[in-house]
A and B are shown apart, each in its own frame.
Chain A
Amino acid sequence: MKNFKLAYLSYIPIIILSLFYLIPMYMMLITSFKGLDEVSIKTMWALPKTLSFENFRIAYAELSPYLWNSLRMVIPAAIISSIIGSINGYFLAKWKFPGADFIFPLILFGMFLPYQSILIPLVDFMHKINLYGGIPGLMMVHIIYGIPITTLTFRNYAASIPDELLEAGKLDGAGMFRLFYYLYLPFSVSAFVVVLIWQFTQAWNDFLFSVVLTNSANWTVTVALNNMAGGQIIAWNVQMAASLLAALPTLLVYIFLGRYFIRGMMAGALKG
């Protein structure tokens, strides 16, 4: 009410701004649904005349092994990451051992690490432990480099549980593992959702680890898409359909669980 006119005027810039975000999506969508006879440059911004799923069929045939590779890697990675994070967060926030406050920032730094600076030893190490090239190795790497962010998110959650509750539990004779199970875990369901979908999105969208650590049979979808794109062999509308397929799982997560996704993202800014 206070800014009635100002609010109305706000629609003009906000709609112009929206166009910036919408144009790439619009282009990806309309191009994906265009038949091969409609690839003409002159009509590239026009809506498709008919809805054709042919591009998706071709793109899926190309990408499906890699989509499945991604899924097989990402789901266990996200689950294991969350479990590890939940344990670390609880003990680092509520059962501080000497040096815990010194170690925590050292763990956190891993979140910002330019992974280039560990790639050479990582490749070597993965060869040595026989996990180079495959999905399990990639999964392990995502879990380990996920420790900082998952620990941070759960630590913030654990810190928000009042100490009095834990004290009361202790008076009733519950030990720290019991309190973990009966008090902390029920409290941290939403933290699990936040961390699960954050790790899912991160691992799904990752390119660097996958391109370095997997052989062509085990590529994830981002690597396969990047190799497919830009070439002359595959038509542009198929490439757009492939991009949409590659983005779909994380987009769906965002559409249905966006609130939790944003909480995960804000946790990364430390003061969430």
Chain B
Amino acid sequence: MRFKKEKWLSFLVVSPSILAVGIFVYVFIAWTVRVSFTDWKGMIPDYTFIGFKNYINLLTSDPRFMVDIRNTVLFTVPFVLGSLVLGLLSALLVDQELKGEGFFRSLFLFPLAISYIVTGVVWRWLMNPATGTRMTGLNLLFDQIGLGFLNSSYTATPTYGMVYIAIPAVWQLSGYCMALYLAGLRAIPDELKEAARVDGATEFQIFRHIIFPLLRPVTFSAMIILGHMSLKAFDLIIAVAGKQYPLDMPSIYMWNATFDAHLYGTGAAISILMLIGVAVLIIPYLHYSLREEGRQ
């Protein structure tokens, strides 16, 4: 009997949080879904049901949303790949037990403590595409140290400008991948590597056939987490690019549609499409992680 009472009390203590998350996450999502099925324009709420029209418009006939999808791909691929490669590389290097290891580790991680806005403001300046006497930022540095061939027009590059916004994103989040990979590397028992060495395996073979396969779950987690971040990317894009059409993303379109143009139906539909993208990545991940946890 006593146990039952305690469980009931325990639920009572947690229930305000459950209620808050229930409302602020799930009721609000339902509310947004409802708005996405309406033609609400302007300041006065209008809940006239129009079905999937907003979604169909976005996905079939809205050139701006086509640009957004293309840009999301152009941003996500270099961002995720770049962060994984740099993260793995820096983890392997830091794991060599070099002198000053702690310094390098802290250096690779500190961008995580900074806001995307600060990162964006600094990188926007560094990636200035001006040429000739007005040349500045990274281009000027490359020019001055004889690496002028690296000069680029960065985000002003036609069609592929979005790719360059991945550079500050990698700068900010590769440290996160490093931390994940380091934890993964340190969980690999030394005996495994020793045994392979005794059998005459080279360091590269050990990496290729033992370490790399054992890091696969880490790579998987990192890809999911970074992938969902890039679907949500907003602050960094705003700070690097402002609201430029060629560098548009779903989050920025959602913003413009909702808060500038007051096309609430369209804004809501964009945000629900973003939510679906995130849910497709995150729900299986949560399921998998919590099941693993249950097994331990």
- A residues lining the B interface (CB < 8 Å): 3, 6-7, 10-11, 13-14, 17-18, 20-24, 27-28, 41-42, 44-45, 84, 87-88, 91-92, 95-98, 100, 103-110, 112-122, 125, 141, 144-145, 147-148, 151, 175-176, 201, 204-208, 212, 222, 225-226, 229-230, 236, 239-240, 243, 246-247, 250-251, 253-254, 258, 261-262, 265-266, 268-271
Contacts and interface: CB of A to CB of B under 8 A. Distances in A.
Nearest to B130: A41
A91 B107 contact: no
18 contacts: A6-B203, A7-B97, A17-B93, A24-B122, A27-B125, A87-B13, A107-B21, A109-B286, A117-B271, A117-B272, A118-B25, A119-B32, A121-B31, A222-B115, A247-B114, A261-B112, A268-B225, A270-B290
Contacts of B141: 23, 45
Interface string B7-44: 11111011001101100111111011001000000000
A148 B17 CA distance: 9
A107 B15 CA distance: 12
B221 interface: yes
Nearest to B281: A112
Contact of B108 (A17, A27, A120): A17
B57 to A, nearest CB: 18
B240 to A, nearest CB: 10
A45 B6 CA distance: 65
Given A147-B20, A226-B238, A205 B114 contact: yes
Given A122-B28, A144-B20, A270-B289, A41 B135 contact: yes
A239 B125 CA distance: 10
Contacts of B254: 116, 119
A269 B18 contact: no
Contacts of A144: 20-21, 24
Given A45-B144, A112-B278, A250-B113, A269 B180 contact: yes
Nearest to A2: B197
Contact of B268 (A91, A120, A262, A266): A120
B118 A17 contact: no
Contact of B7 (A98, A141, A151, A240): A98
Contacts of B292: 271
A125 B23 CA distance: 11
Interface string B243-271: 00000001100110011000010011011
A229 B238 CA distance: 11
B220 to A, nearest CB: 11
List the 7 closest pairs (A to B, CB-CB), nearest first.
Answer: A205-B115, A254-B113, A95-B10, A118-B28, A116-B271, A97-B11, A121-B31
A251 B113 contact: yes
B115 A250 contact: yes
Chain A contact residues: over half helix, strand or loop, or mixed?
helix
Interface string B69-96: 0000000000000000010011001101
Interface stretch (B46-54, B152-160, B208-216, B228-236): B228-236
Contacts of A266: 179-180, 183
A194 B252 CA distance: 32
The residue in A176, A222, A270 that gathers the most chain B C-beta atoms within 10 A of its C-beta is: A270
B164 interface: no
Contacts of A112: 228, 278, 282
A3 B110 contact: no
A18 B100 CA distance: 12
Contacts of A104: 290
Contacts of B186: none
B254 to A, nearest CB: 5
A45 B140 contact: yes
B238 A250 contact: no
Interface string B153-186: 0000000000000000001000110011001000
A92 B21 CA distance: 15
B58 interface: no
A110 B28 CA distance: 12
Contacts of B60: none
B136 interface: yes
Contacts of B61: none
Contact of A258 (B109, B138, B275): B109
B119 interface: yes
Interface string B114-152: 111111111111100000011111101100100000000
Given A120-B258, A207-B115, A3 B96 contact: yes
Contact of B140 (A22, A44, A176, A212): A44
B32 A114 contact: no
Given A21-B110, A41-B134, A253-B113, A239 B121 contact: yes
A250 B114 contact: yes
A147 B289 contact: no
Contact of A95 (B6, B24, B109): B6
Contacts of A176: 6, 9-10
B13 A246 contact: no
A205 to B, nearest CB: 3
A32 to B, nearest CB: 11
Given A6-B96, A28-B122, A96 B89 contact: no
